[in-house]
Structure 1
C-alpha cells in the first residue's frame, strides 16, 4: 500500500473518531483516552436498528462522566442516521491541526524523539538500516507538519494574512464567477481556503516558499540544502531507497545528525520571522 493511500485511510479513520466524539459530547482527545468497541443491533437481513458503543470498565471515569447518553452498562446507543452522517472532512482536519498551539516546541520535541529512536539498534544491524531510513522520512515529515500547521493557523488567526493568501495564491487568481454569485462565493470562501491549504504538498519547498513570502511578507531562508534532503526522502519513499541510477541509499547516524542540524537551521529563522515562541 502506498504512503498516500495509508495517509488517506488514517485521515478517514481520524475523521470517523472525531465524528464519534462529537456525537458523545466529548473532545477528540478525551475519546483517545477511552477504550471502546462498536457493534450493531440488526435484523437477520442486515437492517441496522442501532449502533452500540461500549466502553471498557478500565476507561477513565472522569471522561465517562462527561457522556450524557452513557447507560449503567457503559454503553451508548446511536441511531443509524447519526453514525452514517457524512463527516465534515475538511473542517475535521482543520480542527485537528489548530487544536495544538505549541508548534515550534512540538517540532523540536518530535525530532529529538526520532533521534532517540535511532539509538535502538546498533550500527551495522540490518534493522538499523531500515530504521534509519524511516527516521529520515519522519524527520522530513516533521518539517512538513511544522510548515503546514503554522501556515494554516496564522492564516485563520489573522484577517490580514487571510486576505493576503486569497489575493496572492494562484488557485484564487484563476477562479471566475458572476457578480450575482458573490454572496455564495463569500459563504464558501473559508472552506475553499482550508481545502487549498490542506491540499498543499508542504515538502514542495519552492511552492511553500512562495506562499510564505506572498502571504506573510517575511524573509524565507534558502531552500537549497533542505531541497537536497527532500529529494533523498523522495528516493527512500518512492524508489525503495534507491537513486535514479539504482544505487542503494544508506542512511547512517551521521546523515540523521546532519539532517536534524539543517532542519533546525531552516525552521528556526521562520519561527523568528513569524514571532512564534522559540
Structure 2
C-alpha cells in the first residue's frame, strides 16, 4: 500500500473509531468491546449509503416489489443447489458456515431493497416513513439541503434507512409496520435466532462469546434456508396481498 493510501486509510479508520467511541460513550473503546463489530458494520453501511450511484432511484422505479422477491428466490435457489455439491470432509464445516451467513445476507438484501422500493415507488408509504419511522421523523434538514439533493426528501429518507442494520429483525419489522401503516402477522423467532448465530459466524469465526464452538452442518444449513424462505415469503405476501385484493 502506498504512503498516500496508508494515510487515507488511517484517516478513515480514525473517523470510524471516533464515531464508534461516541456511540459507546467510551473514548477508550477498541475492537475488544463486544459491540464494536456491529457498530463497525453500521459505520460501513452509513458510508455506502452516501455513495449511491445516480441510477439508484431509477432502478427501483423500473422494478416492481415482486421483482425483488423473485430475485431473492433466484439467488436462494442457487445457494440450495450448492448444497448438493460433493465436498471433501475437511472443507464441509467452512462451506456450510459460509452458506449459512450468505443466506442471511440474501434476506437482508431483500428487506433493504423492499423498504427502499416501497418508499421510492409509493407516495403513501413515503409519507408514512417520514411521519412514523423513528429514525426519519426526527431528522432535521433545511429547504436548501433538500433542494440540493437530486432525489429531494426521498433521498434523505433512503439515506437514513440505509443505516439500518437489516439483520436486526425486530427493528426492521417495526420500520415495515410504520411504512405500511398496518401490523404484520409474521413469526420472527426463528430468523432472530438465525441472525444471532450468523453474527457469531461472521465476527467470531463460529464461536460464541464464551468461546464455545458453533457447529454448522448440511442439515442446519438447509433448515436455515427453509426458515429464511418462509420468513421472506410471509413478508412478501403481506406487502403484495392488499394491492392484489
* TM-score normalised by length of structure 1: 0.62
Structure-2 residue corresponding to 1:165: 129
After TM superposition, list the pairs within 5 Å mapping 1:1-278 onto structure 2: 89=52, 91-95=54-58, 100-101=63-64, 102-122=67-87, 125-176=89-140, 181=142, 183-184=143-144, 186-187=146-147, 188-216=152-180, 217-275=182-240
Number of corresponding residues: 197
Q: Give the strand-richer structure, 1 or 2.
A: 1
| Residues 148, 202 of structure 1: 8 Å contact kept | yes
Measured against aligned partners, the alpha-carbon deviations of 1:194-235 in whole angstroms (never above 9, x if no partner) come to 201222211111110100111102424121111000001000
Q: Deviation of residue 120 (structure 1)?
A: 2.5
Aligned-partner Cα distance in 2 for 1:275–1:190: 22
**In the alignment, is the contact (CA less than 8 A) between 1:118 and 1:131 conserved in 2?**
no
TM-score by length of 2: 0.70
Query: Gapped runs of 5+ residues in structure 1?
Result: 16-86
**Higher-Rg member (1/2):** 1
Q: Distance in 2 between matches of 1:198 and 1:254?
A: 33
Distance in 1, matches of 2:134 and 2:53, equals 20
Tell me if structure 2 keeps the 8 A contact 1:115–1:256. Answer: no
CA contact (8 A) 1:121 1:127 kept: no
* Alpha carbons 2:83, 2:218 under 8 Å: kept: yes
- Gap regions ≥5 residues in structure 2: 1-36
Q: 1:91 to 1:261 in 2, by over 3 A?
A: same
**1:121: Cα distance to partner?**
3.5
- CA shift digits 1:92-115 (9 cap, x unpaired): 554566655411111112111112
Higher relative contact order (CA 8 A, sep 6+): 2
Q: How far off its partner does 1:186 sit?
A: 4.8
C-alpha root-mean-square deviation of aligned residues, in Å?
3.2
